Chains A and B, each alone.
Chain A
Amino acid sequence: MAYSVTTQTPASRIAALLGAILIIVLLVLPFFAGRGTIQDMFFILTMLVLAQFWNLLAGYGGLVSIGQQAFVGMGAYALFGAVILWGLDPVPSILLAGVAALIIAVPTAFFAFRLNGAYFAIGTWVIAEVVRLLVAQWKTLGGGTGTSLPRDATRDMWFVEVIENTLGVRSAAARDILAYWLALTLALATIGGIYWLLRTRRGLALAAVRDNTEAAKSVGVDAGRMKWIVFLTSAFGTGLAGGLIYMQKARISPDAAFSVTDWTAYVIFIVVIGGIGTIEGPIIGVLVFFALQSLLADFGSWYLMTLGVLAIIIMLVAPRGLWGLLSERTGLHLFPIRRRLSGGKLNLSKE
């Protein structure tokens, strides 16, 4: 009997079906949900995108960066620059946001890849601070105090009028719905793209480099190239998310757009709580994070302390996060990547 390889499991087929239903519900959500829900969902989806890319970097690539705010801020400022200086529409400018993040990622990687582990983490943070200080010198975009998107640019944004007429909502609500749909598209493309990557032989190489770099090189894996691919992909996606987040906010300042707390610390919290090195982890993590934020929003600094304590407890009790805990107990994988060999001389009952 010949050998065959499968990645799917019965549970993952059910998960794929439920996932398809969930995607349809999310797509039509603006037809029946209120504006508050749409704004919350926008927040959840954009944080999910940031978390998935940080997870790709740290969980799969072993590159623990605490400088992702450089790409959020750079993307956001590129979008504002394209709209204010070149008069472009904000929607296509989101792509420029990704490209701008990619452009600064190249020199960042060039410097940061000389460092390892904790030094790499600090190095990325320092570079992000340098970028923030440089952008704060950009007087046409408001310097240190920041600026807003011009009113006519946001009013005449692509698709807004169509949404206004179709759903019978005001311009401001239509802009939120547009941002939500863009965020949903980005989140689905991100998860789909990462899942696809992990199922290719590059995904295998990534896992090999993470587990043992020297051994990976000895079996022909180009470890250096894998790091570049992961770093640049993450920067591009993080830049897209940054552009989108600030398109929705329509107001920017260097301190907000390059905030290490908002765009890296919270993101690390989401990934660690949910489960690093899995696609499911950031999804669980972002839901927990949103629930905590809603519950504790009125408690000021107690909120941050609760997040910190919770993160420490999870790291001690379940180092692989909530999803890791669940998946260990149940053997459940919603996004299966394990290649299971069967047939031939393999006796399946002996596994």
Chain B
Amino acid sequence: MSILSLKSVSKSFGALTVTDDANFEVPQGQALGIIGPNGAGKSTLFNLITGNIGADRGSIHFEGRDVTKVSAMERCLSGIGRSFQIPQPFEKLTVYENLLVAATHGRNLSERDVRDDCADVLERTELIQHANVPAGQLSLLERKRLELSRAMATQPKLLLLDEIAGGLTEGECQALIRTIKDIHAQGVTIIWIEHVLHALTSVVERLLVLDFGKVIGLGDPEEIMASREVREIYLGIEV
């Protein structure tokens, strides 16, 4: 059964079509990678799935339920978690409090009930030593980890990751891959937008290629990467 399905989803900003008739399904428990050049509409696709922006046409189903008109807040409560491409921390709150907001509201539990879960997430993402630091004081890398941690704190069934590996050293990248594989192994469905292809392909089972808002390829990562179309698009920026 597919956990997420998009049917003919389109979105335009003025004359610019950023998502053009997107049709695809994500089976329960799968890890799907999304690649495409800058401006292809990858982050917009995420915003449509999470409800941060509304679709002009088409429908989005999550766990069989039509969520096209459902708010971002409710989609989070039903199990969709996300990280933002440009980190969006709650700057005046500490790292731990950032996770507390997500855990208490995203799971509708008391602060006491989620304390150990939040600490556990911070241990796994190696932010535990920064737990009491205001998020506004974090470095870019730490902010990216906070994005991942905060999304994990809501214990999503579907986790959307938006370029969290960019700018990491090889060692840091390997640590991140381990963390994501670990989350995936627990049965969480993952959709991951990433330019760092070797990180992406070491985790995902399927790859989706976007260009000018259109899905131009979807399938086995090796076959997709070998296709001429993708090679043309990625020529020069392949890692």
Contact = CB atoms under 8 A, between A and B. Distances in A.
A208 B106 contact: no
A221 B89 contact: no
A215 B88 contact: yes
Given A3-B116, A341-B119, A221 B132 contact: no
B223 interface: no
A201 interface: yes
A338 interface: yes
Contact of A346 (B77, B100, B116, B131): B131
Interface in B89-126: 89-94, 96-98, 100-102, 104-108, 110-111, 115-116, 118-119, 123
- Main DSSP-derived SS at the A contact region: mixed
B73 interface: yes
A17 to B, nearest CB: 25
B77 to A, nearest CB: 5
Nearest to A348: B132
Interface in A192-225: 201, 204-205, 207-208, 210-212, 214-223
Given A201-B105, A347-B129, A351-B133, A217 B52 contact: yes
A217 B76 contact: yes
B32 to A, nearest CB: 19
B128 A345 contact: yes
A340 interface: yes
Given A3-B119, A207-B93, A211-B93, A219 B111 contact: no
B90 A339 contact: no
Interface residues of A, number: 33
B50 interface: yes
B111 A215 contact: no
A329 interface: no
A317 interface: no
A42 B128 CA distance: 48
Contacts of A221: 73, 101, 105
Given A215-B89, A217-B76, A220-B73, A344 B119 contact: yes
Contact of B93 (A4, A208, A217): A208
B94 A219 contact: no
B82 interface: yes
A239 to B, nearest CB: 30
B150 interface: yes
Given A211-B90, A212-B89, A212-B90, A341 B96 contact: yes
Nearest to B83: A218
Nearest to B97: A339
A323 to B, nearest CB: 15
B119 A201 contact: no
B97 A219 contact: no
A100 B50 CA distance: 40
Nearest to B116: A3
Contact of A214 (B88, B89, B123, B128): B88
Contacts of A205: 101, 105
Interface string A320-351: 00000000000000000011110011110011
A2 interface: yes
B115 to A, nearest CB: 6
B149 to A, nearest CB: 11
B8 interface: no
Contacts of A215: 84, 88-90, 150
Closest 4 CB pairs of A and B: A220-B106, A219-B102, A215-B88, A211-B90
24 contacts: A3-B119, A5-B115, A201-B111, A204-B104, A207-B92, A208-B98, A208-B101, A211-B93, A212-B89, A214-B52, A215-B88, A216-B90, A218-B76, A219-B81, A219-B154, A220-B73, A220-B102, A220-B154, A221-B101, A223-B73, A341-B132, A346-B119, A351-B132, A351-B133
Interface of A: 2-5, 201, 204-205, 207-208, 210-212, 214-223, 277, 338-341, 344-347, 350-351
